[in-house]
Structures are given as structure tokens and as C-alpha cells.
Amino acid sequence: MDNEALERVKEFCPAKLNLFLAVTNRRDDGFHELVSVVSQIDVGDTLVAQISVDSEFELSCDDVSVPIDQSNLVIQAAEQFRVRSGWNQGVKFELRKVTPMGAGLGGGSSDAAGALRAMNRLAGAPLSQRELADISVDIGSDCPLFFAESPVVIRGRGEHIEPLRPSTCARLVGRDVLVVKPPFGINTGWAYGRLAEPAPPDYMPKSDAEQHLRDWIEDSNAAPEALGFNSFERPIGAKFAALPAMAENLREKFGRTLHLSGSGSACYIWPRAESESAAIAEAIRADWGSNVWIISAKIVGDLA
């Protein structure tokens, strides 16, 4: 990395999709254990960071619904970077929002990772990418995965990251995917609480999760669709009936599966062609109205 300090930098903060998500247990510290395959997509926010004349951190955003105070992960990331690096310069952040909130697409976590990368560039790169990823663990469980360059398997609360081998990534990278968020969001804490409500809790045994993942990786002909399990689909579908209703509608009309990403409410579909993607989007808007968020994206990653 170039160690020359800069005055103003721009970072792309990609959204992510959980292509497989098994919640396996609740830890004593309140966090949940999971096994998940996660890919970044070529859609996301943009964060501009510029050195300011004082020592404060300021955040502005083009979406007025986004908090710009200490509750925003960008500011929390900036403060953590200052503690770990000792760099005391103030920074003004400008966030251009694309990834919707309450979607399960990791928007806030990606913005935090972007803030760490941006500040490191402004400071002349005093920390390595590994050190930045280590800092991000304390900011949010999803943050570390945004320092990966290709689709990964994440375990623990999200801090244990294992890259998929290039031949496996090649089955994902470059694939077109249609990402959809209905006109409502889902609180992550609430979703985990619903998952833990049954007695016993509705967790997937870790051995089953690992076997499912292993089977998919070892079958070189298995399509990305075969990964599509998400522990949250049952409890969230029970509360938000629009999601299973839409899933059934798409199965009947197109023979395609609607997959939940993270704890929702965003979902994704693997279209066969661009024309099918447009037809699916039209069908979703007909049912959910004009306020639905729909975007075509690609899975991204380095296959080298």
C-alpha cells in the first residue's frame, strides 16, 4: 500500500448477500454462533472522507433517515481507528447511501469498514489490512468480512473468516443476482430473539451446517441456488407473511426461489437471463408496490 498521506479519499462500501446462513447456537456473551457463505456485490454505498481543520469527526448523509451521530458505525469506526493508530486528525465523512437500512445487506457494517480503510489512507497507512479487520470485530459482527476480496465462509459471531478456494469462488463470482427489499425493514435483534423463542430454540446443529456446506463445496456441479438455506426464514416468514407469499408466487410463475439475506428483509433471486430478471421485478412491483427496492447486481471477487 502507498504510505503517502492524502487529504481526501473515496471508498466504495459494497453490500453483501448471505448465500447460506445457519445459526447454530447462542453464546454465553449473548452473541450467536453461525456458519455462513457470504459474497459481496457490486452495489453499495460510497463514503468520502476528508481531513478537517479540527480534531472532530463529522458525518453527513444524503439519506435523512440515516443517523449521523455517535450511533452511526462510521463514527464508531473512526473513534476506534484513532485509539488503535494514535492518529488524532479530524475527518469529515460524506456518506452517499444506496444500500437500504434494515435489509440484512450489511450496509452499516460495510460503511464502518470503509471508514477504517479511508482513515488508514488519510493517515498514511499506519495499520495493515489485518489490523483494520481486527479493529472492525468490535464494531459489528459483519464488519470483518468486508476486508475479504472474494466470497468467504464465516463462523463464530462472524470474526472467523475462511476464503473459499478459487475454483469454488468461480461458481459464484460474476453471477447475476436480483436483490429485492420490501417496503419494510427487520430489526436484527428482534430477528435473533424470534429464532431463540421456541423450546428448544430453532437452531441448526453445527454438524448439519458444516455437512451442508461441505456437500456443496465438494460438488463442483452444484449451483449457487443449492446453498440457499437461511435459519431466519421460518421465524421471519411467520411474522411477515408477505415474504413467504411472494416466494410462493415466484415459484409458481417463474420456478425461481426467493432467498432471504441475513435477517432480512432483503431477499435475492438467481435469474436465468436479463429478460427473466425484468419480468420478476415487474411481478414483485405488481404485488408490493412502487416502494419496493429492486436492483440488479453481480457477485464480485478476485479469482487469482
HEC letters along the chain: CCCCCCCEEEEEEEEEEEEEEEEEEECCCCCEEEEEEEEEEEEEEEEEEEECCCCCEEEEECCCCCCCCCCCHHHHHHHHHHHHHCCCCCEEEEEECCCCCCCCCCHHHHHHHHHHHHHHHHCCCCCCHHHHHHHHHCCCCCHHHHHCCCCEEEEECCCEEEECCHHHHCCCCCCEEEEEECCCCCCHHHHHHHHHCCCCCCCCCHHHHHHHHHHHHHCCCCCHHHHCCECCHHHHHHHCCHHHHHHHHHHHHHCCCCEECCCCCCEEECCCCHHHHHHHHHHHHHHHCCCCEEEEEEECCCCC
State pLDDT tens for residues 225-248.
999 999 999 999 999 999 999 999
Question: Active-site residue 16, yes or no?
Answer: yes
Among 45, 97, 111, 142, the one annotated catalytic: 142
What's the pLDDT band for 202 if we cut at 50, 70, 90? confident
What are the residue boundaries of the structural domains of the chain, listed by start?
A: 8-163, 175-298
As assigned by CATH, the class of the 175-298 domain is alpha beta
Of the candidate ranges 64-73, 84-93, 183-192, the one whose mean pLDDT is the lowest: 183-192
pLDDT in the model for residue 159: 87
Q: Is 142 a catalytic residue?
A: yes
User: Does the fold of domain 175-298 match that of domain 8-163?
Assistant: no
pTM for the whole thing?
0.93
The residue annotated as part of the active site, out of 16, 45, 111, 181, is: 16
pLDDT, tens digit (0-9, with 9 covering 90-100), for 10-52: 999 999 999 999 999 998 888 899 999 999 999 999 999 999 9
The domain 8-163 having CATH identifier 3.30.230.10: the answer here is yes
